[in-house]
């Protein structure tokens, strides 16, 4: 399909010659003779020309006014302006409005061809960027969080609300693999800063001695090896969103500098004496309990309170196992497409194992399991032999990989069980043994009643459990925990 060139020219002879010439060179040419005609074509008929070639002085107005209206309505296309009476003020205004070039008549055809070709390349590049941004915006909507469980519905509803408000900072909590990165992308691409950059930083992956320079940038000569100026990641995120994953790994000095950046909207590069204004929305993600880090003194309390304007906690997969019914087919389809496989049937025995497994690695582990099984499938049946799920007994809502006797809790030390898992299970067992009496359970654990209540809220332990939950707790040692939460 030919690219569209809009020619706005009131001189019939010149306009006809330009139209005939560019039509013969593969363009689809549209003519407009006045500013009113141009407004109708661009703003009412929604024509999307790749390039607009326009005379500056039109019978009913200035072409710059039409350009300004088009830009205010986000109409694309590069503008090349022609005038017989060029002025400095017009040139300045044209460039301010984003015109590609400003040429004085008479202009040779060779010169005009070069400018039109350059404008066409620039316009195509802008369209590609716009299309990519639109695809990302469609991909990362709240519906990208897959699942029909009540827990997932609540998180999805909160994501929709947060995407509608221009918040400055937010803390995303949750275990490793629960989808904190996905939540951050949804908040960015569905929110008010979707047109700006999203800069993601893993604070645990950058050496501590380089972190300040990476975050805030440096000037040439600021330290050995700093040969030139470097724009830091905070500066690169200006106008958009900065995702700080594993933020608990930041040193106390960098925490103080980050607090100043968030509060004052200013940063200073290493080796510089000048403050730089930045406008950044900060998303702080961590699989650690930041409140506990504050109490321990390893995370600044003022920074925590500044970041936690809102808090979003991503639930672990073991607390929303009903979502497996949506996630497993979706992942099978994804890896079928990537590997050219045709896995369509999942045996009931496979579903039983998937639902009984506690998923200590959450969605990330589920993806790995589904990918392995699809890649090694030889028929249309999901291969149970390649599940390779670690032997584990799912106890209640936690206990990933833990085994529980009457008086002894066996905890593996292979990294599959977190401290939160252990604490959650111990509290559940204390409540069971005390007959749902919180005060008695607190005495068993050697803590105050208020301290136990705080931990019950922290771990989302619903107590007393519903009758169906009591039955499932009793069967957990044999069949796993299947209840939706």
- The per-residue pLDDT for range 418-445, each reduced to its tens digit, is 777 788 888 888 888 877 788 888 888 8
Determine the pLDDT at residue 408: 62
pLDDT in tens, 199-253: 999 998 898 888 999 999 999 888 877 788 889 999 999 999 999 999 999 999 9
Cα–Cα distance, 355 to 349 (Å, whole number): 10
Strand order of the sheet with strand 281-286?
198-202, 241-245, 281-286, 169-173, 310-313
Strands (E), 59-108: 61-62, 78-83, 101-104
DSSP code, position 403? E
pLDDT bucket at 457, cuts 50 / 70 / 90: confident
Determine the pLDDT at residue 316: 94
pLDDT in tens, 13-48: 999 999 999 999 999 999 999 999 999 999 988 889
Q: What is the mean pLDDT of residues 264-279?
A: 92
Q: Which of 125-129, 188-192, 296-300, 319-323 has the lowest mean pLDDT?
A: 125-129
Determine the pLDDT at residue 273: 87
Determine phi and psi for 176, rounding to 5 degrees. Answer: -60, 135
Q: What is the mean pLDDT of residues 285-313?
A: 93
pLDDT bucket at 149, cuts 50 / 70 / 90: very high
CA 222-226-231 angle, to 5 degrees, is 85
Determine the pLDDT at residue 482: 31
Asked whether residue 393 carries a pLDDT value surpassing 60, the answer given is no
Return the higher-pLDDT residue of 225 and 346.
346
Determine the pLDDT at residue 407: 57
Cα–Cα distance, 353 to 22 (Å, whole number): 66
pLDDT-above-90 percentage for the chain: 59
Cα–Cα distance, 76 to 130 (Å, whole number): 10
Asked whether residue 65 carries a pLDDT value surpassing 60, the answer given is yes
Q: Give the domains, in start order, of the chain with CATH numbers.
A: 4-136 (3.40.50.2300), 140-313 (3.40.50.300), 317-386 (1.10.8.60), 403-479 (1.10.10)
pLDDT bucket at 477, cuts 50 / 70 / 90: very low
Q: Up-side HSE of residue 61: CA atoms within 13 Å toward CB?
A: 14
Q: What is the mean pLDDT of residues 374-393?
A: 85
Cα–Cα distance, 276 to 256 (Å, whole number): 17
Strand order of the sheet with strand 78-83?
28-32, 4-8, 51-55, 78-83, 101-104
* Cβ atoms of residues 374 and 343 within 8 Å: yes
């Amino acid at each position: 399909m030919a690219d569209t060139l809009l020619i706005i020219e009131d001189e019939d002879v010149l306009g006809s010659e330009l139209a005939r010439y560019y039509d013969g060179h593969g363009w689809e040419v549209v003519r407009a003779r006045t500013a009113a005609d141009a407004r109708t074509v661009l703003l009412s008929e929604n024509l999307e020309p790749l390039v607009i070639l326009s005379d500056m002085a039109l019978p009913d107005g200035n072409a710059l006014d039409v350009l300004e209206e088009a830009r205010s309505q986000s109409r694309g296309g590069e503008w090349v302006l022609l005038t017989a009476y060029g002025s400095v003020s017009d040139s300045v205004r044209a460039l301010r409005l984003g015109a590609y070039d400003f040429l004085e008549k008479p202009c040779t055809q060779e010169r005009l061809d070069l400018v039109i070709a350059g404008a066409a390349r620039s316009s195509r590049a802008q369209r590609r960027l716009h299309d990519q941004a639109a695809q990302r915006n469609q991909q990362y909507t709240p519906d990208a969080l897959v699942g029909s469980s009540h827990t997932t519905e609540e998180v999805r509803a909160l994501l929709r609300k947060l995407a509608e408000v221009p918040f400055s900072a937010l803390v995303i909590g949750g275990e490793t693999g629960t989808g904190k990165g996905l939540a951050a992308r949804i908040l960015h691409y569905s929110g008010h800063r979707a047109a700006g950059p999203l800069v993601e930083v893993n604070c645990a992956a950058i050496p501590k001695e380089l972190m300040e320079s990476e975050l805030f940038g440096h000037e040439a000569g600021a330290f050995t090896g700093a040969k030139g100026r470097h724009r830091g990641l905070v500066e690169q995120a200006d106008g958009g969103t900065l995702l700080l994953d594993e933020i608990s790994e930041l040193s106390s000095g960098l925490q103080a500098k980050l607090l100043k950046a968030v509060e004052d909207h200013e940063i200073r590069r290493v080796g510089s004496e000048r403050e730089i204004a930045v406008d950044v929305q900060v998303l702080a993600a961590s699989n650690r309990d930041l409140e506990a880090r504050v109490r321990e003194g390893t995370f600044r309390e003022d920074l925590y309170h500044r970041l936690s304007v809102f808090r979003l906690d991503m639930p672990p997969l073991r607390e929303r196992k009903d979502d497996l019914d949506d996630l497993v087919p979706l992942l099978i389809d994804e890896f079928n497409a990537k590997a050219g496989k045709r896995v369509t049937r999942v045996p009931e025995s496979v579903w039983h194992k998937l639902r009984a497994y506690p998923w200590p690695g959450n969605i990330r582990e589920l993806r790995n399991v589904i990918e392995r099984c699809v890649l090694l499938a030889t028929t249309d049946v999901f291969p149970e032999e390649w599940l390779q799920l670690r032997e584990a007994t799912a106890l209640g809502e936690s206990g990933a990989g833990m085994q529980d006797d009457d008086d002894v809790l066996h905890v593996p030390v292979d990294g599959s069980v977190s401290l939160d898992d252990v604490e959650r299970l111990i509290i559940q067992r204390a409540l069971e043994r005390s007959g749902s009496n919180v005060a008695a359970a607190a005495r068993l654990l050697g803590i105050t009643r208020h301290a136990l209540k705080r931990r019950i809220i922290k771990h989302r332990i619903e107590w007393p459990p519903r009758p169906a939950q009591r039955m499932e707790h009793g069967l957990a040692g044999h069949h796993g925990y299947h209840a939706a939460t």
